[in-house]
Structure 1
Amino acid sequence: MAKRIALFPGSFDPFTKGHEDIVLRGLQMFDEIIVAIGYNSQKSNRYFEIDFMVERISYAFRNYPNITVVKFSELTAEFARKNHARFLLRGLRNTTDFEYENSISQVNRKLFPEMESVFLITTPHLAWISSSIIREVHKYGGDVSEFIPYALEP
């Protein structure tokens, strides 16, 4: 039987405890998860550099050999195909996320018909956390340590 590899793509600017929750819960279904930080053409300026996020997320999952963290700059469906990931793992916080993710899922299915999107509902106590809120709090000097699974200072 082939390995069940899931791709968990996103801009992760920054990666939150909500994202971590989705990845760890995904391990119950998949043999391997690739956390893939993409260059989002809709978000021209990142707050945290991609290489910094790769390093921080990799450290957060250092005890999980079946989780890898990479960056990519191509269509998600093509990246998934190249990495033998037949599942696209996504988290949903609310109905707005569902509407957005559903559209993307349909496009990805058209581009890579063998790939299934798997949606996990965010754990309720983490559902309000978003990368944009964390960026805003951090930008103005607030403590974001309880919202992210790693230290910002190496």
Structure 2
Amino acid sequence: MTTENRGTKAIYPGTFDPLTNGHLDLIARGAKIVDELVVAVLRNTQKGTPLFTVPERVEMLQEATQGMAHVSIATFDGLLVDFARTQGARAVLRGIRAISDYEYEFQMAMMNRKLAPELETLFMMPAEKYTYVSSRLIKGVFELGGDVSSLVPSNVEARLKAKVPGKNA
């Protein structure tokens, strides 16, 4: 079966360090729009030292998306457009929480369009209750002893507690 016959496949890329309920919101809603959604964990990141390893992030995503139809988890490094081509994807799903996200995401979308004109970018806003949530904010609040239980899946909260002993025990 060719990719064209299967419908629209999209990539939702990110570091997911850690996975948040905002990410899950976009995954669930994005999976309703496209025929297949590949959640792609970036292996090499320029965002500094990650809290969780790539295999840990993949496991958390697999646990949290278990039962979601048409969602798979993968890893990649290098150019997103190259990964999208190898996957036979026709779109990239990106979340936008604020104007600052839009400015960055717009630049990335335009560069991706230059490199791969056949690849479309779909921008989605998270549910209102997650518009301020970011992985970086979750890590910072948790490391200072704050409660993030309503902002991350329970499996992620458990891993945060194991990773940062003595916090929110």
1:1-40 aligned within 5 A? 1-40=5-44
Within 1, Cα distance between the matches of 2:44 and 2:18? 13
- Residue type of the alignment partner of 1:28: K
Q: 1:72 aligns with which of 69, 72, 76?
A: 76
Contact 2:6 2:35 in 1 (8 A): no
Within 1, Cα distance between the matches of 2:141 and 2:8? 37
Contact 2:39 2:71 in 1 (8 A): yes
**1:151 correspondence with 2:143:** no
TM-score (norm 1): 0.93
Contact 1:57 1:150 in 2 (8 A): no
* Higher alpha-carbon deviation: 114-123 or 63-72: 63-72
Q: Tell me how far 1:123 sits from its aligned partner.
A: 1.5
Q: Counterpart of 2:33 in 1: which secondary structure?
A: coil
* Higher alpha-carbon deviation: 138-147 or 94-103: 138-147
**1:109 correspondence with 2:113:** yes
Q: Tell me how far 1:149 sits from its aligned partner.
A: 2.2
Contact 1:4 1:86 in 2 (8 A): yes
Indicate the percent of aligned positions where both proteins have the same amino acid.
36
Q: List structure 1 segments (4+ residues) > 6 angstroms apart after TM superposition.
A: none
Please tell me the root mean square deviation across aligned C-alpha atoms, in Å. Answer: 1.5
Paired position in structure 2 for 1:87: 91
TM-score (norm 2): 0.85
Provide Cα deviations, 1:68-100, integer angstroms capped at 9, x if missing partner. Answer: 111111110000000011100011101110000
**1:142 correspondence with 2:146:** yes
Within 1, Cα distance between the matches of 2:143 and 2:105? 28
Give the unaligned 5+ runs of structure 1.
none
Q: Tell me how far 1:40 sits from its aligned partner.
A: 4.6
**1:60 correspondence with 2:64:** yes
Within 2, Cα distance between the matches of 1:150 and 1:112? 38
Provide Cα deviations, 1:33-58, integer angstroms capped at 9, x if missing partner. Answer: 01001035422310121111100111
Give the unaligned 5+ runs of structure 2.
160-169
Larger Rg: 2
Q: Tell me how far 1:140 sits from its aligned partner.
A: 2.4
* Greater RCO structure (CA 8 Å; 6+ sep): 1
Tell me the matched-pair count.
154
* Higher alpha-carbon deviation: 144-153 or 130-139: 144-153
